[in-house]
Amino acid sequence: MSDFKVPSYPGLVLYRCLLWLALPFVLLGLWWRGQRDPAYRPRWRECFGSYSAASKQGAIWFHTASAGETIAAAPTIRALVEAQDQLAPVLVTTMTPTGSEQVATLLGEAVEHCYAPYDFPFAVQRFLEHMQPSALILMETEIWPNLVLQAKAQGIPVMLVNGRLSAKSARGYQRFRWLANRVLRAFDLIACQTSEHAQRFAQLGVAQSRLQVVGNVKYDLNIPADIEAQARSVALQLGPPPQGYWIAASTHLGEEEVVLRAHLTACQTVPNLTLLLAPRHPNRVAELASLLDRTVPDNWCRYSDLIGPKAEAFSDAGSERPHRVVVVDQMGVLLPLFALARVAFVGGSLIPRGGHNPIEPASVQTAVLTGPHHFNFAQVYADLVAAGACEEIDSGSLVTALQDLLGQPERGQAMGRVGGQVVAANKGATQRTIVLIQAELSR
């Protein structure tokens, strides 16, 4: 048992009181999600630390909240499983059904999986008593006060890998330092993406001895050797070949309308151009249907209509012409679509969400466009922009940038090549992270 005790200080007491006040709204939100997405219903009790199935105790617990984080963390988790060589099981927790699906798809039986408990003290305690993990590894920004402090109090090493702290987030932590500082100081290791992130953690009170700079594990993406063949296969299934594809990936409400306007304008100079529209949350397709019906009536379809069991019936119904917009309504299919596209716009960046990961399109040598709000991946975008692999645009200049790249294919190809070089130059963070994790586990 650790000498560390869960501190009782005003900030934590206030946080826990606020959690109790929020509990009815959390339950209502969970019920509402279950109405919109039935996948939330069967295992909702796990969110409160109630697990019916027996689990292997003493596992190394790796927490990734969402599908995106799971995809990014999968190479690190696989490397950890291999490094442990069955010495200890690995448990991966998520907080969404799509994250759960990605664990099954990417990691299979190599790991155990369940939902992570919400950050209520009783839920966290139930989880810890049931699972009795030997270590807790959090990903990027998943810093939950009760989770960290209660695990630490039970002698469980607590680590944050691929840690990042933007300037905006650092200001937020400073405002809530009455709660955050003691939580951050409880970490045994924070493996940061950049020295700037490490400096911000240090300014919040984390000891330098617990901070390491290892790079971004998301650069260690495994690209299949046959990715070009996969892209060609998808193109055949999408129907008669258009003049070209471009993709708008990980888009949010407020971005799709801008993207569709830019697409229709570009179609005036690039006939038979197809947009692959991939919302960040595929279950928003029903929400997008009315916008698509207004913008491209009778000229859009779902990706699953063309790829998968419904494709033959869809073709028999007479839908054999190229579709102006294909809405990607499946998870885990973007890599060959990035390889197929001539230009990739990465969403969450025209609105102040902080942007999403541009490494996948860069890794398959596709030119990248981003909006001005990309602080979640500030260093990655800075590297890509500096190399000439990425262009920053806004809502008004998206169409101009798109037309320029489509009209000058050699320029887009050059951007793609240097993007691939940036990705290759930044690989290696996964192995450095594993070395640090093993060192902490052996203490």
Q: Would you say 349 and 402 are in contact if contact means Cβ atoms under 8 Å apart? A: no
| CA distance to 97, 311, 334, per residue, from 100 (Å) | 5, 26, 18
DSSP string spanning 384-430? HHHHTSEEE--TTTHHHHHHHHHH-HHHHHHHHHHHHHHHHHT--HH
**Looking only at Cα atoms, what is the longest distance across the chain?**
70
Q: CB count, 10 Å around CB of 239? A: 19
Nearest in space to 393 (alpha carbons), one of 259, 210, 241:
259
Q: How far apart are CA 298 and CA 197, in angstroms?
A: 48
| CA distance to 158, 363, 395, per residue, from 402 (Å) | 45, 20, 12
* Cα-based angle 52, 86, 219 (whole degrees, multiple of 5): 95
Under 8 Å CB-to-CB from 280, ≥6 apart: which residues? 250, 251, 252, 347, 348, 356
DSSP string spanning 302-340? EHHHHSSTTHHHHHHTT--SPPSEEE--SSS-HHHHHHH
**69 included as an active-site residue:** yes
The continuous run of DSSP H or E covering 167 comes out as: helix 167-175
3-state secondary structure of 437: helix
Q: How far apart are CA 415 and CA 379, in angstroms?
A: 18
Q: How far apart are CA 157 and CA 171, in angstroms?
A: 27
Q: How far apart are CA 373 and CA 392, in angstroms?
A: 9
Strand partners of residue 204: none
Residue of 46, 69, 256, 391 with catalytic role: 69
Q: Would you say 132 and 112 are in contact if contact means Cβ atoms under 8 Å apart? A: no
Q: How far apart are CA 382 and CA 403, in angstroms?
A: 23
Nearest in space to 275 (alpha carbons), one of 311, 303, 313:
303
Alpha-carbon dihedral angle through residues 200, 203, 209, 210, given to the nearest 10 degrees: -60
Q: Would you say 55 and 130 are in contact if contact means Cβ atoms under 8 Å apart? A: yes
Catalytic residue ranges? 69
